Amino acid sequence: MEYLSGRALYQRVIRDTVAHARRAVWIATANLKEMLVEAPVGTRARAAGKFIPALELLGMLASRGAEVRLLHAGIPSSAFSRTLVKHRDLVRPGARNTAAPVELRRCPRVHMKAIVVDGASVYLGSANWTGAGLGAKGDGRRNFEIGFLSNDDLLIDDVQGLFDEVWSGRACGSCRMRDLCPAPIAETLEARRPL
């Protein structure tokens, strides 16, 4: 287990772990805001020292075969929403069996901040999926966040279990906030299930 804070959160979680995912990236966050990351190594953008929206990075990972799931609570920020519109081919909001590679689902009760990569690494901490939390911002613009990165199998299993319970809608049945939910996941998935 590795304790992280400050710039190390970006370096270890995003740059060293998420950017190298091969099979899966599962992200849970309360707030979903635009986050810029270094362009991938070997790209012209990287050679020019440019930063790209994290959504583009996730799209690249998905195009290489990684399953990318983003579970969030709040309505995405306006900057993230503009990126969604610009890259709408990358995103499938809750739908199944579509061509878009990055799946988003919203549950207003999600407050956990977790990132599981390839079922082999897990980040848990205070940082949301935001530039000030996990992005490549400078120290003067970064939130004061803490967290840890672990490869403990039992911890990863527990985090993936909770994530999947919410993602799949199994947690919706007993939820007492269903009347506030824009589209309960279980009902949404049931409505889309083929006859």
Q: Is 68 exposed, middle or buried (0-12, 13-18, 19+ CB in 10 A)?
A: buried
Helical H runs in 71-114? 78-86
The pLDDT value given to residue 174: 79
| Measured distance between the N- and C-terminal CA atoms of the chain, rounded to whole angstroms | 46
Looking at residue 171, its amino acid is A
CATH number of the structural domain spanning residue 38: 3.30.870.10
For the cut 60, the answer to whether the pLDDT of residue 162 exceeds it is yes
> Which 3 state secondary structure label does DSSP give 28?
strand
Span of 16-20, 119-123, 173-177 with lowest mean pLDDT: 173-177
Q: What is each CA distance from 31 to 64, 70, 94, in whole angstroms?
A: 27, 11, 17
Asked if the model's pLDDT at residue 64 lies above 70, the reply is: yes
Q: What percent of the chain has pLDDT over 90?
A: 60
What is the pLDDT, as a whole number, of residue 155?
98
**pLDDT tens, 67-102?**
999 999 988 899 998 988 888 777 765 544 444 588
Structure tokens at 74: 């709040």
Question: What pTM value is reported for the model?
Answer: 0.87
Q: How confident is the model at residue 163 (pLDDT cuts 50, 70, 90)?
A: very high
What's the pLDDT at 71?
Answer: 95
**Parent domain of 97:** 2-192
